[in-house]
Amino acid sequence: MTTDPVELTRRLVRCPSVTPEEGGALELLAAELSAAGFACTRVDRNGTANLFARWGARGHPKTFGFNGHTDVVPVGDAAAWTMDPFGAEEADGWLYGRGATDMKSGVAAFAAAAIDLVTETPPDGAVILTITGDEEGPAKDGTVAILDWMKDQGEAMALCLVGEPTCPKRLGDMMKIGRRGSVSAFFTATGIQGHVAYPHKAANPVAAMAKLIDRLSAAVLDEGNDHFDPSTLAVTTFDTGNPATNVIPASCRATVNIRFNDIHTSDSLAAWLGEQMAEVAAETGIGFDMTTAVSGESFLTPPGPLSDMIARAAEAETGIVPELSTSGGTSDARFVKDHCPVVEFGLVGHRMHQVDERVETAQIPKLKAIYARILREYFAQ
């Protein structure tokens, strides 16, 4: 009997696994996978729940890996939902619930495909699932923790498919072969507080910060390349915390975020930001400080065997050849890329994180069929 990915999705959605709560989702997956012969290990770290599951011999050179997450973002205004956020209710061909799109359906589809493969036609090789409960949160103790544990245990994937939603309009229309990096810079400008009627007795950090932000906003970081759009810089905060209209404040803060392609690294961008800041400090006499936070580096898995295999499977099941893209935000592929080649492919994602999040029910078994084709082709090679 084949494994029903829709029913497995329903059961997962009914688990209230809002980050950082496990909610029973990983326990459910571990039970299903263990029954099919997978060796399952909880790799929890600092209160974050993670699951590692392997079928086949450890260290087999032909090991297909899958990465996903069962944690979900908060419901938000529950009264705005027309369906129970954790009810997994169906209506008009849609399955509703938080995580239905991002990404319990993807996890269910791959788990179902993997279970059927190893129970019906056991391959010469191994299948690994790495499922985290920390993708929607800080992402410090999720996939990173699993990969750290794998290194210590001598576990390895030859390649990895991340099942995040990747398709903008129709199942099969896009896969992600890389991602932009993300670095945020936090600036503080410090001057001298004073009365606005006597500006010569003060040193206004607001004007200096405005000059810096204008300079950064006007900069062209690059023109993009064959696989990436141009890098972008966005101003996300500009604040003094000053409620008075007759006081020049002593300090001012601003934050920018850069989403960058593989022309840059976070270090090179931090150095550039520091240079711009130093120039404005010298021009204005205002003191500046900067700290940075990196969410991930830009990376690319060059088109090749893995992306070709995914494209063939998607076209066979949907009639669509996926576009190779590096658009969008960050994902846990930014961690997996240091372990093995990685590509992302999953369902249509435009309903994720929304009120009444939902997935077209018929697309879940179709995604399972794509994943099953990928697995069969990989182990037939």
Single out the catalytic residue among 22, 32, 71, 332.
71
**Residue 135 annotated as catalytic:** yes
**175 forms bridges with which residues in the sheet?**
324
**Residue 338 annotated as catalytic:** no
Asked whether the CA dihedral 268, 274, 277, 281 is positive or negative, the reply is negative
- Strands of the sheet containing 90-91, edge to edge, are 90-91, 94-96, 358-360
Single out the catalytic residue among 102, 134, 135, 164.
135
- Look up residue 128 and give its two tokens: 């690994």
Please confirm whether the linkage preceding 103 is cis (ω < 30° from 0).
yes
Pairing of strands 159-162, 342-344: parallel
Gap between the Cα atoms of 345 and 209, Å rounded: 42
Closest CA to 64 of 53, 51, 80: 53
Specify whether the CB–CB gap between 175 and 345 falls below 8 A.
yes
- From residue 365, how far is each of 73, 82, 87, 209, 336 by CA, in Å? 24, 25, 20, 53, 26
Instruction: Say which DSSP state 227 is in.
Output: S
Q: Which positions are catalytic?
A: 71, 135
